[in-house]
Amino acid sequence: MSVFVTGATGYIAQHVVKELLAQGYKVIGSVRSEAKGEYLSKLINSPQFSFAVVPDIAAEGAFDHVLQEHESIGTFIHTASPVDFEVSDIQTGLLDPAIEGTKNVLLAVEKYGKNVRNVIVTSSTSAVRDVSGKRPSNSLLTESSWNEISIEQGLKNPRLGYAAAKTFAEKEVWKFAKENQDKFNVTTVNPTYVFGPQAFKVQNKDRLNDSAEYVNKILKLKPDEKIPTFVGLFIDVRDVARAHVAAIKNPKEFNGQRLVLINSAWTNELLAAIINKQFPEVAIPKGSIGASDEELKKADLKWDNSKTKQLLGFEFIPIEKSVTDAVQQLLDS
Ligand code: NAP
């Protein structure tokens, strides 16, 4: 049986593919064009990897031909979704590809997924953390928390648009799971900000994908520049990949679970301090653990993902290693 991964060119998906191949799975990845598929195949360089072209995930029936042509697909991993906070049209740039794209995946699986047993969808903590204003911003995040944002709120700006897109796309997944209880094992993977190295070569070090770029932005600061204030949560990309694969290995245990992937909190001050400690030759602003601690205290972020950790049963990679590996790769490329 093979594993199908949508959006295989993506930062997270490339790690998922790499992890699957390392564990002996045969992988088919979807890409938006033949040229992207050829490029990715060269990068991955494995006879166990092949690609299928799906130009637009939001188009009706987008994935039907893939499942009709590949009866060997036993697991469907859906990661493709726009992560773009500069879109001019929130509906067509964020909401449609996320929500309609997910519906297209689920409909194709239902109709043509003859041998599909496991469905794993990359959601986000954006579907977990409420930004609708209905709950305080420091509310405890757990596997049962939901963002209560409306589509209307999502149309206000791209950040809210992304949150609404991920929330409503995930709602479709759980609706499908409920309607197909005996047919499929369904799991969502809900990561927070994802850092860590690229799975293969860095394609363009001037602009990485949105989350990896947070570390890259600090690396690009001049020593006298101010470190922008920012507080977020963190998980390493290799842990995100392992979580997707764990759900295939124990599908019954992971069926119905939302894996909330959060390891620790971070600030830009902390990223700068780590880079300074590990790479003293790199000229960037100093960064301070003290200032970072102050910012974290103010933000008062709370989460409890012990259920996820217990299910996964492995230790998450700490932020210091994640940032060090990412920066080392950027300096070497
Ligand atoms: P990424 O590197 O930007 O990858 C996004 C992938 O989706 C790419 O393969 C992209 O194709 C594809 N895609 C985007 N819009 C599409 C469309 N309209 N039609 C077809 N394909 C489309 O992002 P990522 O960080 O790896 O994110 C992957 C998944 O993880 C997403 O579902 C995202 O919401 C979720 N996630 C990410 C983070 C994070 O911090 N990175 C955190 C939580 C959740 P092209 O390469 O052709 O553009």
Residues 62-85 pLDDT 10s: 999 999 999 999 999 999 999 999
**What distance in Å separates the CA atoms of residue 63 and residue 10, rounded to the nearest whole number?**
18
What the block records as the tokens of 120 is: 């794993």
Question: What's the gap in Å between 45 CA and the centre of ligand 1?
Answer: 22
> How far does residue 288's CA lie from ligand 1's centre (Å)?
32
Ligand 1 center–CA 322 separation, angstroms:
20
What does the pLDDT read at residue 178?
A: 97
Site to probe by mutation for ligand 1, drawn from 5, 6, 9, 12 as the one with most ligand atoms within 8 Å of Cβ, is 12
Tell me, in angstroms, the distance from the centre of ligand 1 to residue 228's CA.
Answer: 25
Task: Give me the helix-helix angle, 11-22 and 237-249, nearest 10°.
Answer: 50
* pLDDT tens digits, one per residue of 182-223: 999 999 999 999 999 999 989 899 899 999 999 999 999 999
pLDDT digits (tens, 9 = 90+) for 144-196: 999 999 999 999 999 999 999 999 999 999 999 999 999 999 999 999 999 99
In angstroms, the CA 210 to CA 138 distance is 24
What span, in angstroms and rounded, lies between the C-alpha atoms of 54 and 37?
10
pLDDT tens digits along 37-48: 999 999 999 999
* C-alpha span between 240 and 211 (Å, rounded): 13
Specify the pLDDT at position 252. Answer: 96
Of all protein residues, whose CA lies closest to atom 5 belonging to ligand 1?
10
- Inform me whether the pLDDT recorded for 137 exceeds 90: no
Round to whole Å and give the CA distance between 167 and 160: 10
Mapped onto helix, strand or coil, the DSSP state of residue 195 is strand
For each of the domains in the chain, give its residue range(s) and CATH number, in order of start. Answer: 2-194+234-262+302-315 (3.40.50.720)
Burial 41-65 (b: 16+ CB within 10 A, else e): bebbeeeebebbebeebbeeebbee
Residue with tokens 């009709």: 68
CA of 270 to the centre of ligand 1 (A): 26
**Ligand 1 atom nearest residue 54's Cα:** 20
**Atom 44 of ligand 1, nearest CA residue:** 124
Tens digit of pLDDT for each residue in 227-249?
999 999 999 999 999 999 999 99
What contacts 302, CB < 8 A, 6 or more positions away?
A: 138, 139, 140, 141
- The DSSP 8-state label assigned to residue 95 in this structure reads I
Which atom of ligand 1 is closest in space to residue 165's alpha carbon? Answer: 34
Distance (angstroms) between ligand 1 centre and the Cα of 79 equals 6
CA of 11 to the centre of ligand 1 (A): 7
Residue ID of nearest Cα to ligand 1 atom 39: 194
Pocket of ligand 1 (CB under 6 A): 7, 9-13, 32, 36, 56-58, 79-83, 97, 122, 124, 166, 191, 193-194, 209, 211
